[in-house]
Structure 1
């Protein structure tokens, strides 16, 4: 277990629309027991109790010793991007849907905060992609899931050359090209037929979406490899998305360089094995092939025992009813 540095100020990162007031109140209640300042960004002022301090966005990340992301994976990714230049622990609370990154559900938050205060947690480090363009300024430079080059309209295709360590590797002509981290390998990359990478691997993947010509399979590259994608003259206009957020538009001749940045974020984990099991269940719902007996193994033991006890109770009740006839 690791307690890490003393937390004097914790920052709240809120989903832009979902109601998260109950979780905010839980954080404030915990801050009374363990004196900690609770901060948020000025843009969220209207959604927060007066007790929560707000600071300008530009100062927010530098003012906190940890972050609590209240939302889904998108909110968690946004919180992680805030910490790239100065990684601090980030705890995710799932107010979303699947939630591969977030571990805690709102009902578990009070006990999670108590464990956090006691130092009863571990840190899971995540790498991110750092993207930079030549004469084009990207709105978002850091992606913990992926950087996607996709055609802007419905006609034509993305046509880009792949360079690895300044050597032309080949070209893609496809609906899109996805560059993903191990974390993001379960997202768009997976939907496009790319492989799932172990979270512990220092690697990135480049996967074409609906390839028409050129490289048609995923390319797996090492952490030290420097890659670049250059838009060809026959390409349709290319939109760049970073972690699902529109980040810029490229024209023929434009070039995007992408590198893996290690240890760019620290995610709080209370039970790495339980989180891994939950993620496997979620992946099974996305067609990861698991047999029924393997799915049963993923159900927490206490839930399996509860279901077995309930089934036994129903069976005994039926037997008693039959004996009374």
Structure 2
């Protein structure tokens, strides 16, 4: 079985987890590939190894499965590199919360053994696509969310919002988040949005600091297109695609819809989303 490892180029002190992962994979006879920039970053910390991974550049690789080792940000990077290749991704969490990367380093060997035995499940997660005429946006796809935000030195922005051909509302706010169910536990949650079951085929429209008491997060079906026209006093605003930010001017119209592919997330058998809620967010915990 071929595995491609994607990590982040910081926190070198956590390279021991990558070294352990390589040892586990090689000991089980797997073919291992690794993003070159990540390998060059951690190579000084790996020490002597009997085998080395096959290196690849950017998204020029193939594999049976991708292993993201880091936090949820690293998982998002892995999803961006995989794109529409339909390669399943599993996340090993060496970060903090870990909703997407939910396998602990302590469970790596058991998890890899289960994968090699075919004992895992795959969840297909919705991806958003941004349509606009911005020349610098080369990868307009988001697994978590697309957010429209004011610039740091700006006042509130005005966001005219249509769903397909129907007018929804004009938001006066610091921004507007369009989140997938996967992204409902990310930025959207931090500004009061609902948690959405990953396979619910819905999207969340969630204003950031709205200047009104009569707008709230809104859940819509995922087979529609959200059209946005933005006004601001300094005539520009930010578009954030899974945390990658671009400056746009007021004549930029945005269309957000579901992409024609999904991200395949690997889950261990008998490990469900509700378990993650309880473990990561202490959902329903009562300390009394």
2-side partners of 1:244 and 1:199: how far apart? 20
2-side partners of 1:275 and 1:161: how far apart? 34
Match of 1:304 in 2: none
- How many residue pairs align between the two structures? 280
Alpha-carbon distance, 1:210 to partner: 1.0
2-side partners of 1:138 and 1:171: how far apart? 25
2-side partners of 1:29 and 1:192: how far apart? 41
Unaligned 5+ segments in structure 2 are none
Structure 1 residues 109 and 127: CA distance shift in structure 2, 3 A: same
Match of 1:51 in 2: 52
Match of 2:19 in 1: 25
1-side partners of 2:88 and 2:201: how far apart? 21
What's the C-alpha RMSD, in Å, of the aligned pairs?
2.3
Alpha-carbon distance, 1:232 to partner: 2.5
TM-score by length of 1: 0.78
Structure exhibiting the larger radius of gyration computed from Cα positions = 1
2-side partners of 1:274 and 1:219: how far apart? 25
- Which consecutive aligned stretches of 4+ in structure 1 deviate over 6 angstroms post-superposition? none
Question: CA deviation digits over 1:257-280, x for unaligned, max 9?
Answer: 111237611111114445532322
Moved more, 118-127 or 205-214: 205-214
Match of 1:123 in 2: 122
Match of 1:317 in 2: none
Question: CA deviation digits over 1:121-169, x for unaligned, max 9?
Answer: 1112211111121245424411111111111123311211112113332
Unaligned 5+ segments in structure 1 are 1-6, 294-325
Match of 1:260 in 2: 258
Alpha-carbon distance, 1:96 to partner: 0.4
Matched, 1:249 2:250: no
TM-score by length of 2: 0.88
Question: CA deviation digits over 1:163-221, x for unaligned, max 9?
Answer: 21133322111011111011111222122122211112001011111112597222221
Which structure has greater helix proportion?
1
Moved more, 21-30 or 63-72: 21-30
